[in-house]
Amino acid sequence: MKADALRGHLDALLLAVLDDGPRHGYAIIEALQARSGGALSLPTGTVYPALRRLERAGYVESTWSTVGGRERRTYQLTTAGRKTLAAERSSWAEFTATIGAFLTPRPVNP
């Protein structure tokens, strides 16, 4: 799946991955791939700017740590991020129900 197909949904996907707990950037990318069955293979050039945007908005916070001699930034949801994720999930449920009413095949009357 191409990154441009996710336009408008990437932030919600990142927040949902972080709902499972703090992760560093590459672990977020791996979680997106795993949870999508490999359909989402997003480049770092897409994910990291989105994470920085979410951090500036106050939805995630990050901390630096050193693991195995390497610096890594770990991201986690803030309270505002959890509220935003809940709103995104609600909007998504409403959207899919509405569109599903049109795109789900209706039973044929004999």
Tell me how far apart the alpha carbons of residues 70 and 67 are, in angstroms, rounded to a whole number.
Answer: 5
For the chain, what is the largest distance between any 2 Cα atoms, rounded to a whole number of angstroms? 69
Phi-psi region of 58 (alpha: psi -120 to 50; beta: other; left: phi over 0): left
| Residue 11 contacts residue 75 (beta carbons within 8 Å) | no
Distances (CA, A) of 19 to 8, 12, 61, 97, 106: 19, 10, 13, 23, 35
Q: Is-contact 75 62, C-beta < 8 A?
A: yes
What confidence score (pLDDT) does residue 7 get? 76
pTM for the full predicted model: 0.87
Class of domain 3-99: mainly alpha
Spans in the chain with pLDDT lower than 50 = none
Q: Say what the pLDDT of residue 2 is.
A: 59
Q: What is the mean pLDDT of the chain?
A: 92
